[in-house]
Amino acid sequence: MTLFNIRQGTKLFADRIKFPYGFKKSGDFSISEAELLGYYGFTLFKLEQGEIKPETADEKHFLAVVKGKATATTLLEKTWLKYIRLSRHARPFHTLHGKAKNQSDFYENDVEDYDIAG
């Protein structure tokens, strides 16, 4: 049962640049979110780019959501916003160790403290 009236895409949607192994294997989307992106993503992308015109009230609402004029209410709209956030914005990168203030001092002081020979 569909809770929104948006056309399915004419083909499956995939973003092989940002999600080379697919939405399901990315670890970023649930199975249902990945399926929604696959089935409706092509239409949503075309609507967002202005390549097709909205035909239903739900498609018009989707455009308002994407433009920031309305709040996402359906799982499809929320999933598309999540896709935009993950695919079009830089992801934070976290390392397991901090950065020393002066790395040359860090290496000079610490190398002497380790017994490399064992």
The pLDDT tens digits for 3-25 are 789 999 999 999 998 989 989 99
Write phi, then psi, for 98 (nearest 5 degrees).
Answer: -80, 175
Residue 4: partners with Cβ closer than 8 Å, 6 or more residues away: 58, 74, 76, 77
Residue ranges making up the domain that contains 26: 1-93
Question: What is the total count of domains within the chain?
Answer: 1
For residue 33, tell me if it sits in a domain. yes
Examine residue 98 and state whether it is found in any structural domain, yes or no: no
Computed over every residue of the chain, the mean pLDDT equals: 82
pLDDT computed for residue 2 by the predictor: 52
Residue 108 lies in a domain: no
CA distances from 50 to 39, 43, 44, 46, 106 (A): 19, 10, 10, 6, 54
The answer to the question of residue 116 being in a domain is no
Mean of pLDDT values over 77-104: 74
Amino acid at 32: S
pTM of the model: 0.72
Q: Residue 48 in 3-state DSSP?
A: helix
Residue 110 forms part of a structural domain? no
In a domain, 104, yes or no: no
Please report whether residue 23 resides in a domain.
yes
| 60 in Cβ contact with 74 (< 8 Å) | no
83, part of any domain = yes
